[in-house]
Amino acid sequence: GPRLKAQAVYLNQYQLLPWARTCEAFGDLYNHQPTESFLQECLQSCHDQIMPSLEEIKKLLKTEKVAHFDETGIRVLGKLHWVHVASTSGLTYYDVHERRGQMGMRDIGILPEFTGRAIHDHFKSYRQFQNCLHGFCNAHHLRELQFMTEQYQQSWAIQMSQLLLDIKTAVARAPADNRSLSPSRCKQFTASYNKILAEGFAFNPVPEKTGKKGRPKQTPPKNLLDRLEKHQQQVLAFMYDFRIPFT
């Protein structure tokens, strides 16, 4: 019946039991062990029934003002593939593709038609989509800044972390009907942001040329400083528009 088939899908897809162990669990629970073809039939039936809902979710995500995008590795038949996700607080769409970057994102088909604000981890492939605005996840920045503090003894990184958290607190305490921080507060925070960057650049000058071809290799702290300077609007987007989250 449908409830037994639902249990099979639940154990395999949500609890992540392998096919053989899912069938074994049925044998232990019900004293009857089905074949893996039974599980395949259950999964196919579930897939067919949810496809209309998935297509509707995909359609709605394209029209959202703000959406989150990410990707992570997964093994498919022993080979590395990528799970791509697009989500809001009420909508989530997953898809699997053999490519992590722009090709996979284009084939999935959400980002090419998305015109809102895409929140992501500054992965270069996301920034190739010029039809939408972008915002960077500050949870990633806090982790990187902590790494710079611990591994490279970068004092400016501590200051930048605290500044980002101070702005986050100011946003949380702002009146509910506000759409952004006041121009004076934004100016104040931006000045502090640029001052910290200046201290960081002074501590991490441009590497001297070594005589080899190409640009000298930069240190991770210098790379992070360059990103925080070049993409300041994306880092601080949550300060200017309260619809945009901190992370």
Secondary structure (DSSP) of 54-83: HHHHHHHHTT-SEEEEEEEEEEETTEEEEE
Q: Contact 72/80 with Cβ under 8 angstroms?
A: no
What is the pTM for the complete model shown?
0.86
Calculate ∠ Cα 24-27-28, nearest 5°. Answer: 90
Q: What is the mean pLDDT of each run of 10 residues along the chain (247 residues)?
A: 96 96 97 96 96 97 98 95 97 97 97 97 95 97 98 97 98 95 97 98 86 79 97 97 96
> How far apart are alpha carbons 245 and 65 in whole angstroms?
12
Q: First and final CA of the chain: distance in angstroms?
A: 43
Strand-pairing partners, residue 67, are 118
Q: Are 71 and 85 in contact (CB under 8 A)?
A: yes
Q: What is the largest CA-CA distance in the chain?
A: 74
**Angle between the 138-152 and 220-230 helix axes, to the nearest 10 degrees?**
150
pLDDT at res. 211: 63
> In the sheet that 117-120 helps form, which strands lie side by side, from edge to edge?
92-97, 79-87, 66-76, 117-120, 133-136
